[in-house]
Structures are given as C-alpha cells and as structure tokens.
Structure 1
C-alpha cells in the first residue's frame, strides 16, 4: 500500500492538520488526552500499578535463598520485565513474608542502558533506575516506583554501585574477569541514571494511558552508594564548563579584569567545597543570568527571556528577514546571521559561555513512508542534531528546547532518541513533555514538545505548574485562560501595523475564549477575526502569538516570522520559573523584583503555591538519599555488608596495576562519540 509522505516544515501553513494526522501514533508514546481545559486542582489518589509493591505481610530483615543472603541494599538479577524496559535487576528495599503466598522482595527496578533504545550511551554493565510514578500520587517517587518480586524468581545476587561520577569513573575493575561474558554475568554493575515516566493516573490493573512526562536524570551526590562512589557535583560542573557566577554572569558594573573565566582543564582530583557551604547573598543590582537564542528567528524566545529578567547575550539564525527584526529589537545583543553549522565551526576553541540557552530547531522533514533518500535529508537531519554541538560549544548550565510534537511519532523514534542521546552523552539531564501553551498564558491553542536540560553537576528543574486553566478552582493557583478579546484589547491605534486588511465573509464567533486554532506561518487554517468580516491583521496575529503589542517587525514575511516564533508570553512564564530555580540553587536572594521574592532566610519561594525545594550537599555523616527518600545511614548503601566484605570486588583500585581490558561501550557505532570510553576494539553484545 502506498502511503503519501507527510512533510512538516516551517513553510507549511497546514502544520496543525499534519500534527493531527500524526496524533494517533504519537498517543501511543505520550499522553495527548491532557486537554488543558480539563485542568483540576491536585487531589491525591490511592496508589496502584501493574507491578506496585504493597507492604502486606510480615517484614523480614533478611532472607537466605539458595545460599544468597538477601537483605535491604542488595541487588538481585531477575527475569526481564518487558513493560519496564526489560528491567532485569532489583535493588531490594524490603522483604515481606505473606501468609499462604510466600516471600516477596520489594525494590526498585533497573535495566541495562542498552535497553533504553538509544537515549543513553550503550555501555557495558551500566544500569539505569526505572521510576514509574503517578502525578496524582503524593508519595515520594522512590516509594511509587517500588515493584514486588517473588523470591523464587531471583536468579542471583549482584554487586551494584550507585554513583554520580561521570563515566568511566567507578566502573567495574579491569582484569578481574577473563571474558566479556563473565563481565556481563559476574562483573560489578554501576548505576548513574534515573529514568522517570510520569503518568497522569494509574488505575488498578495497569496503565490506561502512556506517560505524560519523561525525565532522564544523572544521579546526584546524595544518590551515591557511599563515600567512595560520591563526587562533588560542583566538581562535575567545573570540569564541564569551568564553574558558574552565582546570581548570573551578566553584571554591568563588574570590572573587566574580574570577568568570570573558564577553565575546562580542571584536574579530576580537584577538591571542591560543598555548595551547601555557600552563604545566602543578596543579588547585585542589575545582575542577570545570560541567555543565548539558537535558531532565534524574529526573537520570540529572546523577548520572553528578557521579560523574565535575563540578559540576552547571543542570537543565531540565517533568515535575513527574521534577522532584520531581531537586530532592530535586540540591538545590544550579538547576532550571528549565519548557518548554524558555520556558527558551530567558527571559533572552535572559544570559551564563550552562557547560563541558559534556548533551542528551536526548524521543523524537519518527517515522513511516515520516507524510505528513499531525498536531496535535503542530510541537511534536515543535521539541523536537528546540531543541538548537541551547540550544547558542547556554549556549555549552558540549563537549556530549553521547543519543537513540533510530531517528532514523537513512533516512526521517528530513532531521530528523537538520537536527539536525547546527543545531550546525555555529555552528562546532561533532560525532561520533556507535550504542553498546550494555553496553560502558560498563550492566547491561542498551541501544543509543543518542551524540553528542559541541565549540565553535569546542575540540578534539573521541574516544569512550571499551570498558570492558567479552563476552570480555575480555589487553591489551584491558576487564572482563566487568556481570551482573544483580552489579548486584542491591549492593542491601541499607535500599535497598529500599517498593512492592508483582507475581508472575508464568515460566521461570527465568540472572542471570550482562547483562539482554538494554532497560528502558523500562513496564519493558520480557519483563523479569522471574530466579527467574521475580515482576517486578523498582522498586529493581531502577533498579539495572539504572545508578542507585546509594541513589538516591531521589520522586513517582509512578517506573518512567517510570527508563526515561527516561540510565544514570548509563554517563554516569560517558563523562564521566570527557571530564574527562580537558579537563584535558589545559587543561594541568592533577589530583592529588586517583587515577583522574585525569596521568603525566609533559607530562600524558599513558592510559584503558584508550589514550593521550590532544591537539595544541597550535606556532610558525609548526614542521612543519605536515593531520589526523595531518606535512608538511614546504616542502610543507605546500595551494596550489602556481604558484598562490601569482598575487597576484590568492592574496594578494588582500578589504577593500581595493569589489567586485561574489554571495551565498555557495546555499540561500535557510538564509541567515537563517548567521552573517555576505553577503545580497544568493537564488541556488540546486543
């Protein structure tokens, strides 16, 4: 059967219809039923899961099974669970004896990174925690993610470390095993990542819908097994980008000789102080976090970030019309009007850094039946994959990405997973979801894939909660959606753009609702003035796309400039949230903006009723954490006493002697893209 290709690109005014065509396939990957109009205040519901563990029966402190001593903190191998990405290991949290049923283990599932379909580097004996959680459940994620396993299904105990060190540090000792197969079956396992799949709800009997949000986080210092496997998060960040300037790298009154300098050659053994030791300070006057806007277009993201209090440092785009608008609007910022690849190659050794970067790669050629190579395929794919090179070049503390959600279609999975892999290969944590931008204040309906990422050693922010909803409830922190009438009411005669109006004869509609159709490069099919007598003019289109009413567009192709933009009002909401998060992690109090107030001496603040809680490093004798769950010091190590008594496995100094080595990377195709991988020859065990 012949299937016509679907092309989604920035020049296509029928983008919304194409996304609707792809929606059934996308809905098998991520939840699309979360219409923003159905937003309700959070009400906890009883937990339930296909594999959920329940504390029924009598708890046991330990249990011996075929000579193996099983207890809290021991990892066991088990038959793979297909529903949990082939998870085949369990980190025991408790042991329960249920009358008439037997003994069960309750714990956290882990899978080999090679089973995550490419979103993480495929490295030998490297594992990833799998957390399935429900957004309507108030329990800690570690508790929600527990699964139950019959003890009779245990294959055997395995040595496992949790570490926040970057690969290849802390991996299995070299030389203990003579074959690759022996390494796989008996070698020490290492976990550095946690993959969270968040569902709207999980009714009894299984998952009724796919997840609505995904998060892939590198473990932090607190998640590590014990002191030997714990490194300073500050050190990880210093090695990657040379450190940070607390409160923001832009400070107009700082002397030039005190500019923040970058040293990416920090010695790995450099001891860094704990960030919890940093005292709380007031922010300097006019100090701001710096922002770079890649694929900036006419400046929608830059406008929103500026309104949120960021200093726009850099923009890059190759559209002459959009660049003329951007250059006029952001005259004090550096604009690189060039192809993104030229920007990447220029000044390859540059130490240019920004605090936060936004990426809006142009929508690519995505075809469900694209089997014959096309003339522009390489350029289209390279444009998307330039994102990880931009991360490598500018090394931001945080980044955001906005893209059409059509890329989540199963037939494009290898493209999307490769995009995620491009970030995680450098140690960046990422989270992503599809957002109807109505919930963040956009006057027009627009669903987009939104991603937030954080660099090595930097904590990953959550998404901001909704600021608007279709049915606000007391205490939910939302306001009614911004309607067409409200948005257009702000336009004054002085703001009108002098372009001819185009008449039409259509049915009148009520403007006391948001615009129900997406604004695209051609204006959007079905979009016209609520009077029914004409189409929207360019100023109205821009206002409904979230631009300030005085935003001045230059050159031609203005409608395309508007349709391509990330709505500034949405970016303002997102980036205010990010700014508050950075201020909190930097221990900075901001007193110059009432919206940035940090209440109390500890700097905690609330965004729409949600308190930002950011963990800080603690001394070694403090309780340790795995995720959000507090573990007692005696039971905090993911490796049991039985394993820790075997120095040849657990306390081995991998630098003390020569060993027989095997390549840690099991995928020959990725080896040259992984930092510090031992390259001794291709071995693919998949």
Structure 2
C-alpha cells in the first residue's frame, strides 16, 4: 500500500504572515543572537522583521541555516550567517538603525539539567547581550530562556539581568562582582531618566501550548522597548487551553471525530468528576501530538523521499524519567538530547502503550518549523538543535506583538 500524501500542517508548519508587512515598503531590521537552528529568528522573519546579522557559534546549527539558504528557502534567503562568539563580532558593518535584537542566550547556566551556576558559568551570555544592546540601541529586544531562570535560587541574578537590560550602558567596573553591580543598578534605576539609553523591560513566563504550539514548553521571555519610544505593550494573551481540548475530547467528541478515531481506538476517558467540571470556554484547544503529525506517513528505517528528515530511529525504551509523550496531548518539552533521561521525552507514546522515538521531522513539527526547513546533521545532532530551539510559532506570536506595538505608536521602523 502506498504511503499517504503529506498534508502541510497549517498553521504549525507554515504560520501566517503579519498582514501589515505586505504594505510596508521596507521591512524593519533585526539582529539574531544565539540563533541556533533558527527557531526564534524564523518567527521574527515571519512576523515581518528582516535579519541583517544572524549569529551562532555552533557549526551544525550554522550549517542548518546555511544549507536552507543554499537550497533557496525563502525565509532565510537574505540572512547573513556568522559562525562564532557574539563577543568577537565586529558590529561596525551593521546598520545604525536596528529595530529589533532577538535571541536565546545559552540556557545551561539556569537549566535544571545543566550546572545551574548562573553568573559563575562561563556560558552565561546575558552580560554580553546587554553590551550588544548598548552598542546597537535597538528599538526593542526579545530574549528567551528556560523557566529555571526565575526560580528562587536565581532571584537576585534574575533581577540583575533585568536591570542590566534596563540600563545597558551602565556596565560593571573593572573587577566588580555582579552583586556589587546589582546594587549600583538598583540605585540608578530609580532615576533612569538621566541616562541617554534605557529600556522598559517586561518579563513573562509562558507555556508554548497556550499559543498553539503542540508542546508543553514553559519558558521565560524578556521583552524590552527603548525608553524614548514610550511604547504601551503587554505580553500577548493566550489563545489555546487544556480546558477546551478536554471538552472537545470528552464532552463533544469533536476531537476524535476530526481525526476519525473510532471509539475502540480511543484512550480511557478521565474520571466522571473531571468530566462534570469541563464547561465550555472561549478560545481554541491545545494542539496535540496527533494534530502535529497529521499527514506524515509512519516512519521507516529508510529515508522518506517525500518528507525531509523523516527516518525511524530504533532503540526507544521506557523507564523512569524516559516515558515519552502521549499522542493526544501536547508533547512534553523536547530536550536537547536523544538517549537517557535528557532525551526521554523525545518519544511518542501511543494509546496502546507502545513507544518509539520521534523522527527529526516529527520533532520539527512539534517545534513548528516549516516542513520544507531541513535540519542538518545526524539524528542526534538534529535533535539537539531542535531541543535548543524556540518554537517558531511562539517566536512569531511575540515578534508580531512587538511589531504591531511599534507600528501602533507611529514609530518609524
């Protein structure tokens, strides 16, 4: 029997483009830091920004962007990819009037799966990010990191990051410890108007599933607008919910009917008490793994001629901390690993209890990358890139809101 036709996952694989962009004579410029495989950068591009410099130190991630550019992918066709440390980049050749700086500084200093050494970790790039913002003076910035950055153990350092971004030109003195710098920043922030450059900084913790991403991925966004612009902005309101998903599954049954799943193939319903509390509410339902994989043929050990990066990876097994993601809920957070507990949630757990690893393409769907965007490298290397990425759709949602806020204020982009 022939494989089913591949149906593009809309809006997952090809998010909508902000309508106001079509009328703009010139797209506002952006600089992408710590771009990885391009998740946040692609979201910003779709939202109407045009990257003039895309920086990433990892060779494989840079190869992913370069290969897609070589293949003529429309979203990255104009990107200037620079492989190396952002601290070594010469910014003199970048345009003076940058609208947006976006990026996800390395999360390992704050991740529960990393060393969690914060400022004592040499991979902490928030100070370098603040210095770049001080140099480029963008109208806005969007930064993303793991939720662990906001835990109690990092409370002072999280405050330090926000104040460092609020007053990026107030740099640390020679041999000054960050805690001493924090005290100076606290005092200076009370009279920030006397500084030529300051930002209004808005942090927010979000679950990607609440914005249509088929994955429960909790992250912190730090968004800033230059103080002289007086932009009124709040984080986008969530559009999707678990309540609506459960209502469509266990009250109306619309979810199962949409996917043509017979009653004999459905999982066991929740307890009656839970069902009684499932009142209808406005909004859209969380998108599930099943939603994300619509149209993809079942993977085999042989590469698919019709679908990029869609090859079955054998060896999946279940044990504590390595149980996989159920098909009819959003996936658990994809990790930047592939074997052991770090990669344990990068597996599909089906209704019958069977498990297998997600293919690279399936994982890309869960991170809302376009279907025609190829991940470069081995399965393990591609999974690392995907696990480190910002979901493209979530990046688009945030970047569109920033774009709209700037346009609403009549700011020349």
Q: TM-score, structure 2 length as denominator?
A: 0.65
CA displacement 1:25-82 (0-9 Å, x = unmatched): xxxxxxxxxxxxxxxxxxxxxxxxxxxxxxxxxxxxxxxxxxxxxxxxxxxxxxxxxx
More strand by share: 1
In structure 2, do the counterparts of structure 1 residues 331 and 350 end up closer, same or farther at CA, with 3 Å as the change threshold? closer
| 1:440 equivalent in alignment to 2:183 | no
| 1:341 equivalent in alignment to 2:87 | yes
Q: Which residue of 2 aligns with 1:486?
A: 291
Q: Which residue of 1 aligns with 2:333?
A: 518
2:210–2:239 contact (8 Å) kept in structure 1? yes
Instruction: Provide the C-alpha distance between the structure 2 equivalents of 1:518 and 1:566, rounded to a whole number of angstroms.
Output: 11
2:317–2:356 contact (8 Å) kept in structure 1? yes
1:293–1:357 contact (8 Å) kept in structure 2? yes
Instruction: Decide which of 576, 581, 584 is 2:400's aligned counterpart.
Output: 576
CA displacement 1:364-398 (0-9 Å, x = unmatched): 43599xxxx99x936234x2211111111221111
1:491–1:549 contact (8 Å) kept in structure 2? no
Matched residue SS, 1:489: coil
* Greater relative contact order, per chain length (Cα 8 Å cut-off, separation 6+): 2
CA displacement 1:190-232 (0-9 Å, x = unmatched): xxxxxxxxxxxxxxxxxxxxxxxxxxxxxxxxxxxxxxxxxxx
| Within-5 A mapping of 1:117-196 | none
Q: Which residue of 1 aligns with 2:142?
A: 400
For residue 550 of structure 1, report the CA deviation from its aligned partner: 1.9
Structure 2 segments unaligned to the other structure (5+ residues): 1-19, 69-75, 168-196, 245-278, 298-303
Question: Considering only CA atoms, is the larger Rg found in Structure 1 or Structure 2?
Answer: 1
Structure 1 segments unaligned to the other structure (5+ residues): 1-246, 249-282, 589-686
Matched residue SS, 1:542: helix
| 1:529 equivalent in alignment to 2:348 | yes
Q: How many pairs are equivalent?
A: 300
| 1:548 equivalent in alignment to 2:387 | no
Q: What is the root-mean-square deviation of aligned Cα atoms in Å?
A: 3.1
Matched residue SS, 1:304: helix
| Within-5 A mapping of 1:181-330 | 284=23, 286-329=25-68, 330=76
1:304–1:570 contact (8 Å) kept in structure 2? yes
Q: Which residue of 2 aligns with 1:223?
A: none
Instruction: Decide which of 92, 104, 110 is 1:360's aligned counterpart.
Output: 104
Q: TM-score, structure 1 length as denominator?
A: 0.40
For residue 587 of structure 1, report the CA deviation from its aligned partner: 7.3
For residue 456 of structure 1, report the CA deviation from its aligned partner: 2.1
Instruction: Provide the C-alpha distance between the structure 1 equivalents of 2:313 and 2:136, rounded to a whole number of angstroms.
Output: 43
For residue 555 of structure 1, report the CA deviation from its aligned partner: 3.1
In structure 2, do the counterparts of structure 1 residues 499 and 352 end up closer, same or farther at CA, with 3 Å as the change threshold? farther
Instruction: Provide the C-alpha distance between the structure 2 equivalents of 1:407 and 1:586, rounded to a whole number of angstroms.
Output: 34
Instruction: Provide the C-alpha distance between the structure 1 equivalents of 2:309 and 2:35, rounded to a whole number of angstroms.
Output: 22
For residue 299 of structure 1, report the CA deviation from its aligned partner: 0.4
For residue 549 of structure 1, report the CA deviation from its aligned partner: 2.0
Instruction: Provide the C-alpha distance between the structure 1 equivalents of 2:94 and 2:54, rounded to a whole number of angstroms.
Output: 16
Q: Which residue of 2 aligns with 1:620?
A: none
1:445–1:514 contact (8 Å) kept in structure 2? yes
Instruction: Provide the C-alpha distance between the structure 2 equivalents of 1:486 and 1:406, rounded to a whole number of angstroms.
Output: 29
Instruction: Provide the C-alpha distance between the structure 2 equivalents of 1:452 and 1:509, rounded to a whole number of angstroms.
Output: 31
| Within-5 A mapping of 1:434-473 | 434-458=205-229, 459-472=231-244
Q: Which residue of 1 aligns with 2:174?
A: none
In structure 2, do the counterparts of structure 1 residues 526 and 284 end up closer, same or farther at CA, with 3 Å as the change threshold? closer
